[in-house]
Structure 1
Amino acid sequence: MAGQLAGQQVKQEVGAFRAELFAGKKVLVSGATSGIGLAIAEGFAALGAQVIATGSSAAKLAALRADRTLEGIRFEQLDVRDLEQINRFASELDGLDVLVNAAGVARPADEYRDDVFREVIDVNLTAAMRLSMATRALLERSRGTIINVASMLSYIADVEVPAYCASKTGILGLTRSLAHAFGVAGVRVNAIAPGYHRTDMTRALWEVPASADKIAARSALKRWGEVDDLVGASLFLASPASAFITGVTLPVDGGYATGV
């Protein structure tokens, strides 16, 4: 089952933190029906948080709700492109300590089309702003934390995905701006920047030995990342250990962006 695999992946990262670190805390993770978002949701749940994980696919949500290894996570349908739906969803929350904006899409080769370009920007960048603003009052009340998901493509180019590059570069600026806008109320806003991690989005690359080896060779650690490699960074940025860290984007790419 998906939950069993993801659960195994996050054990090492979660084990670095005090058990029940987030007991009683309420966490919302968008784009959490697979990959990075799901792993982060599991990481918080494993440390005692009450986690709501959202996604747009009814079929994926139904499968995850039926997975008994994920019973500690509440899965809800949410279209992050719909401001009215987001505002209604946020109004029904009784509190929030951590918001993780992990929803993201890429449309390789199609992003030069105007409609596709706008769709990718909407999901990857504008949705993070929508969710942050919709939950601002709740986060101010708890002096909570926002964690956005940027990318190594916030720093380097990929001609196949201009909208993805633009949206993830935009996350850097949004993170800095919201950190200053929300900081006066004690809300911290940071981001993580994943590199090449083995997810469904990158499957076309890591399943081909030539491309997989080339990518691993450029990284300082000479390997691909796994989704669990992003869990520890997210937990740290939401924890008291990072109480004076805000407005930053933490690369979690094994040194890929600095490689040659």
Structure 2
Amino acid sequence: MEYSGYALVAVAHGSRDPRALPVVRALLARVRALRPGLPIRLGHLGLDRPLLADTLAGLRGGAVLVPLLFGHGHHVTHDLPAALATAPHLDGRIAAPLGPHPLLAEALHGRLAEAGFDPYAAPGRPAHTAVVLAAAGSRAPRSAADTDAVAALLSARLGGLPVVTGYASAAAPTVTGAVRALTARGHRRIAVAGCFAAPGWFAARCAADAPDIAAAPLGDHPALARLLLHRYDDALVAGGGGAAGGGASVRDSTGAATVAV
């Protein structure tokens, strides 16, 4: 797809972990390689710079906010529309979060494989093998439904292997609780796959709770880079496409209400 006149603004959560920002920048470098000529910017909700408000202030024309987040939690449904409301000079659109989508399941599977997870490496192993899909957690019911849908997609990609959700905060069960439940069901080899774009406190906490294998954050996995562009393209289609104008409307493809600025 040719450049539409809308910049892609990747919205990261932000982290105090010094490894996070280089990982996010590596992901965006992969996205740029896939779509040369597309203006790609980065904005953080907090903790890291550039902050989203500063990124939006420096843009003109149109922008599609693509959250590096994995479900319809408070950041996606409230913080992003609020950020665009403070940038009336932009024709802003909000893309859907990264989950659920088959490309996300592909990236999760890839990171598990890189960590050495192979449920079919020996006869009989799949019957005693399972995965905990770890996520940050949210009090929003729709966010939990999104995570459950990602778990189902990952399970299908793993040939029907059990995949259950576990959370770092704000929702239940915890990763430890999910591991205990799987152990009680007879699963002796349990891996943890994390819905985390970059290293950070939540990712480290969930990995520490893995009894066996813990996959790395998704980072610059090629499937995640393709997913960012897919969400960007979908947001343009949902908003009618075309070149950016000088208006100040906010078109939201996340399923939240449209916000008039």
TM-score in same-fold range (> 0.5): no
Specify which structure has the higher proportion of helix.
1
Instruction: Output the TM-score relative to the length of structure 2.
Output: 0.40
Considering only CA atoms, is the larger Rg found in Structure 1 or Structure 2? 2
